[in-house]
Structure 1
Amino acid sequence: MPLTHIAMRAGKPQAYRQAIFDGLYQAMRETFDVPEDDQFMTISEHDADNFRYGSRYLDIARSDDLVLIQLTVSNTRSEAQKRALFRRIAERLAESPGIRPEDVFVSLVEVPKVNWSLGHGLAQYG
């Protein structure tokens, strides 16, 4: 049950943003065994004054097309699954909407399964 937050510069069309949602969801289905219809995602758009990044950090040439992706996930995946997810997200977003791999920044936040309530005030996984 990933909870996905995406931050990016404002100004991209709706189809571009939809392609990001679709690509992320497909990458998670392929590498993290995310079930069908398990989609909880937001995109926040920021003007230049409110979007800051290291354009050369770790010798990666980033551009204003940088997409910051934070996934909150249960702490149940292996290191191999995480590496596969990072790779597949970059591949999927390069295919559509055409984001350069250098502009795909992903962070995983892992939490115990008991930390999720998906509705009704219950801890469905705990």
Structure 2
Amino acid sequence: MDEKASTQDPLQSDSVRGIARLKLIVVYLGLFMVSQLSHILASLYLIFCLIIGRNTPRLFRLLITWDYLFNITLNGKLGETYSHRVARDCFEKRQFIGCFVCKFLDLFQKDHCKTTYDGHNAEARPFKPKDVDTTL
């Protein structure tokens, strides 16, 4: 009898790993579909609030969530908004793009980047994921 075959765990065979991988892919696709549905509903809610002129706390939380998502999409730190990222780049590193985006955001809210930078540093609570296995 082959020594390699006798020491191999039967639960870790190629077919079992293939099934586990397939299940993980199905779960990820399901989560993707749920996230797409929530994005569509959130966008419709945003349009509805803009049409009727309501400014709700839920709308503000939604915009902040999109800010987090945008930052993560651009390879930013987890738990940091894009506004804080560009403010940090502008104030600490003196990068042109960060300062340019801050000037643009200041058109919508006076001292937006300074407020975001000061507020985030005062109550910084970065998200720390716990033992999440993301391997396929």
Please indicate the TM-score interval, normalised by the length of the shorter structure: under 0.3
Q: Which TM-score applies when normalising by structure 2?
A: 0.25
Q: Which has the higher helix share?
A: 2
**Per chain length, whose mean CA-contact separation is higher, i.e. which structure has more relative contact order (CA < 8 Å, sep 6+)?**
1
Larger radius of gyration: 2
TM-score, normalised to structure 1, is: 0.27
Question: If each structure's strand is expressed as a fraction of its own residues, which one has the higher value?
Answer: 1
